[in-house]
Every structure is written in structure tokens, then in C-alpha cells.
Amino acid sequence: MTDNVHLGHRARKRFGQNFLHDDMIIDKIVTAIDPKPSDNLVEIGPGLGAITEPVTDLSGQLTVVELDKDLAERLTQHPFLGPKLTVHQGDAMKFDFASLIRDDEKLKVFGNLPYNVSTPLLFHLFEFVDNIEHMHFMLQKEVVKRMVAGPGSKAFGRLSVMTQYYCHAMPVIDVPPECFKPAPKVDSAVVRLIPKKPEQRTAKSTKLLNTVCLEAFNQRRKTLRNSLSNLLTADELTALGIDPSLRAESLSLTQFIDIANWIYDNKQ
């Protein structure tokens, strides 16, 4: 794949840059975000502003977090966009999103997330869900499939459990490769994430819930008796009403929470 020069900017592989240019898709994404002048909007990785421009047209202002110094500078200097933007040049994976809260106005976060960092970036954002009203992200289609997958599906895994622990997740729109420059080798999709209320998140330790998922899905072919043997016994699983001969993909989110909470109460 050759490097793409677009509006004087060369797409950088190390940042996972692929720039969206399909107007119909952009319009559908902006409609899903539904930006309003009163919104506290945050865009991660605005790139060349394909979504930034139509969103600011509707909202009047926007905060952006951009890793690429050149792109951050371009946005700051942009004759039309510049005055409407608050640009934070830096790594979104280290960014304190809670710092953007003003007047108790929750954030509406969106972006075209680089494929190479999408999962760790999502996990970072989950730490701020109580400050967020909703999120819309363009991701690799396979990642979106995993985020929204239910028990019994081959796509169901740690990302499914942890995403659905924090948020209601639903696919919004598929985005084929030709909508980007340069065209990626994979299909993309947009996902909508609506954070759950704190009282809906009943794990006593999300770190422990994540550990249970890591162990359970690390070797998917193994039964729970084997995959979770470092954490609890087959008898202890049975006492929780969980069949130890099942595989991880058969369990519900609630059952994963039950296991994590039992370990928290009994093994800490």
C-alpha cells in the first residue's frame, strides 16, 4: 500500500491513519452522533476533520484529542474550524477525559479509532463512563462484532463481556474500505455505546472481572473447570450454579460477575 497524500498530509502507518472521505457515510455518522450547540462534544483522532467539520457546523464548538502533532497544528490554524475547536495534542490512552467535564455536562465522545490501539483505548474510556452520555466509534468491523456479541457466539469474548458490563452496545452502520484513503484491508463499522448506570454495574472489582475473563477466554477450547482452575475449583463453580464442563463462551455477563464477586468475597 502506498502512502497517501491527502490535503497535503501523508497518512502515517504508525498512527494507523486512514482518512474517511465518503460523504454519505459521514452524514450517517453525524446523524447518529446528533450534535447540538449545548453538547459537551469530544472527538478522538479528528484526522483531517471529515467528521469534525459537519459536527462543528451543528454544535458550534468541539474538543479534540489528536496524537499527530502536524494534524493538531493544522486544526488549530484552520481558518474556519480553528476558532471553534479546543485542541489537545496528545495520546488519548493517557488523557484524563474527566478534566473536560463542565457544569455537570456529560461528554459525548466520538472518533475513528486507530485499529492498532482500539481495544486498550476502549478500556481506558470505560474508566470514565460515569462522565459520558454516549460514545460513537468507527472501528474494525470484527472488533464491533466482538463488542456486541452475545453468549454462545464465536465472537463472544473478554471484549464482549467488559464492553457490555460498562455499556449498552449496538452496531450503527457498516463502512466498506473504499470509504477511506488509503483504503484499509479490513471492513469497518460504527458502534454506539451508551454507558450503564452505576447501580447496573454490580462487580465488586472490575479488575477482578477482567482477570476472570482473561483466564476464561485465554484458551477458548478449555472447559471452565480447566480455564478457571487458578481462580476457583469445579465444586466452587457448581456451588455458584455454573456447570464446570461448559466453555467460557456459554456464560452470561451476570455469571461472569457472579464468579468475580465470589472470588472477591472468598479469595481476597
Query: The CATH number of the domain where 213 resides is what?
Result: 1.10.8.100
pLDDT at 5 over 70: no
218 is in an annotated binding site: no
45 is in an annotated binding site: yes
Which residue has 481506558 as its cell numbers?
124
pLDDT band at 20 (very low <50, low <70, confident <90, very high): confident
Domain termination residue (choose one: 199, 221, 255): 199
Whether 83 and 215 map to the same domain: the answer is no
Q: For residue 230, give the 3-state DSSP assignment.
A: coil
Domain termination residue (choose one: 199, 233, 259): 199
Whether 153 and 229 map to the same domain: the answer is no
The pLDDT tens digits for 171-190 are 999 999 898 888 888 899 99
The pLDDT tens digits for 249-259 are 999 999 999 99
236 is in an annotated binding site: no
The pLDDT tens digits for 58-88 are 999 999 999 999 999 999 999 989 999 999 9
Whether 74 and 96 map to the same domain: the answer is yes
251 is in an annotated binding site: no
Whether 115 and 220 map to the same domain: the answer is no
Task: Enter the pTM of the model.
Answer: 0.90
Q: What domain range is 221 assigned to?
A: 206-267
Single out the residue of 106, 100, 64 nearest to residue 81, CA to CA.
Answer: 64
241 is in an annotated binding site: no
Whether 238 and 186 map to the same domain: the answer is no
Return the C-alpha cell found at 110: 466520538
User: Averaged over 145-154, what is the pLDDT?
Assistant: 96
Whether 22 and 122 map to the same domain: the answer is yes
Query: The CATH number of the domain where 41 resides is what?
Result: 3.40.50.150
Residue 13: what pLDDT? Answer: 43
Whether 179 and 210 map to the same domain: the answer is no
Whether 163 and 212 map to the same domain: the answer is no
Residue 2: what pLDDT? Answer: 31
Whether 12 and 145 map to the same domain: the answer is yes
Residue 180: what pLDDT? Answer: 82
Which residue has 472501528 as its cell numbers?
139
